[in-house]
Structure formats: C-alpha cells, structure tokens
Amino acid sequence: MAASSASAAESDAMEDEAPLLADAVTGCLDFKRRVLHSNSGCWKSASFIIGVEMAERFAYYGISSNMITYLTGALGQSTAAAAANVNAWAGTTALMPLLGAFVADSFLGRFWTIIAASLLYILGLGSLSVSAALNPSDSSSPPPIDVFFFFFALYLVAFAVGGHKPCLQAFGADQFDDENARELRSKSSFFNGWIFCLCISTLVGLLVLTYIQENLSWALGFGIPCIVMCLALFVFVLGVGTYRFRVQSPGRNPFVRIARVFARAVRSR
C-alpha cells in the first residue's frame, strides 16, 4: 500500500512538472527563475531592446551628420582638417564593434556589454554637451584644452557604439526561441521591425537635432541625445526580469580559439 501510494505521488508530481518542461526554453537562463515561454522573451523583451537601438541611432546620427559644421564653426578648423578628423572618427567607430564583440563574447556577455556601452555613451554625450557649452560658437580659436576635451568625448562615443553594435540586435534575437514555431515566425517580424524603427529614429535625429544645433544651441543639440540615452538605459533596465540570456557552451568562443592558435604558434617557434 505504501509503495503504491509513493508511486502514485511520484507520478502526479511528474505530470505536474510536464507542462513546465514543455514551456521551458532550452539553452537560456534569467536572473531569478526558470525561463518559460509564457513569462519571458519574445516581443515583451524585444521592445525594450528596440527602444535602446532607436535612442542610439537617434544620438549617433544626430551628432555625426553635422560634425563638420561644428568643427569648422565653433572649433575654427579648416574644411580639410575637419573632414580628416571626421573621417578618422568615423573609421574608428566602424572598427570598434570588433572590440565590443570580443569583450561581450569573452568577458561580459551581451547584456552587461550593452549596459557598459550605454553608460559610456551617456558620459560621452554629456561631455560633448559640456564642451559645446564652455566653447562659445563665435570663438575662432578655442583653447587647445577645449579641443582635446571635445575629441576625447567624441571618441568615448565611438567606443560606446562599438559596444552596442554587435550586441543589441543579437540580444534582441536571443529573446526568440528557434525551436518554437510561433516565436520563430515572430523572430522574422522582429528583424523587419528593427530596421523600420532604426530608419525612423535616424530620420528624426537628422531632422530635429540638425535644426536645433544650427538654429538654437550646440550644447542643446548634444544634450538632447544624452537625455534620450539616459531614458533608454532606464527603460532597458526595466525589462531585465523578462530577458533571456543564452548559455554559451565552454570552449565555443571563437576569439579565445584564435588567441590559442596564436599562442601555440609563438610557443612552437
């Protein structure tokens, strides 16, 4: 009797766990509980991430599109020097995602890399705003320290872009389970919505911030993106309870494998 009762209880427990196992997302974790399809990921999480991307593109194109005008005006540089500086900054910005991907895959993970990059973005944009406020627009030859501070802030933004670029879209895609037919269809819609929102935020940044910078104030034109990024980071953190974090298998990091190849080559010389 006792044995049959124990067997029946065990069978009931397994039946109770079966729906949870069916609802579980394989290869994912979160901060507090088992990752289930019903309480994590999908659009509820992806919306927070899309919001950060929109803020980032709004900020980036809002400052980069009018940079030559600021350099030739407020900083008193020649057109050739301004173009060279903008190209150097744009090239550095394009290379930084390699560093950001390495940091995310080897050390911090996508979520914490996004957090760190957002904080760096806010610091850079805030410094740009302070630099513009301290440097009057009618100054033909600003002090070298002001110029250095401006470019230091500008390259902080470049490093921040390097953290966002390789992580945001990938982290958004992590919120959809490829083994679930409904979420797989939603994942395709996610990429379409991502591009649409990116284009909208870019257009708004180009139109609104360029007008503010040229007609109102450069400090305000740099400060608004900083405020927007602060709000975006706050919204991103609000969604932390819904995010899915992909579990990376040990030894699958491509950067680590490449580093090991070079290390072995050096040792075998």
* Residue-wise pLDDT tens digits, 212-223: 998 998 999 999
Mean pLDDT of 132-159: 84
- 233: confidence class by pLDDT, cuts 50, 70, 90: very high
Tokens in use for 94? 């394009």
Helix 144-164 / helix 42-64 crossing angle, nearest 10 deg:
150
Q: How many CB atoms lie within 10 A of CB 119?
A: 15
Within 10 Å of residue 80's Cβ, how many Cβ atoms?
Answer: 9
Q: Which superfamily does 39-267 belong to?
A: MFS general substrate transporter like domains (1.20.1250.20)
C-alpha 183/C-alpha 138 separation (Å) is: 55
* Higher pLDDT among residues 4 and 161, named by residue: 161
Cα 237 to Cα 48: distance, rounded to the nearest angstrom: 8
pLDDT of residue 73: 85
29 phi and psi angles, rounded to 5 deg: -135, 165
**Of all residues in the chain, what percent carry a pLDDT higher than 70?**
78
The model's pLDDT over 99-112, given as tens digits with 9 standing for 90+, comes to 999 999 888 889 99
Q: Are 150 and 76 in contact (CB under 8 A)?
A: no
Q: Whole-model pTM?
A: 0.80
Q: Is the pLDDT of residue 200 over 50?
A: yes
Number of H helices, E strands in the chain: 11, 2
Q: Which of 143, 175, 173 is nearest to 75 (CA)?
A: 143
Q: How far apart are CA 97 and CA 158, in angstroms?
A: 9
Instruction: Flag whether pLDDT at 175 surpasses 80.
Output: yes
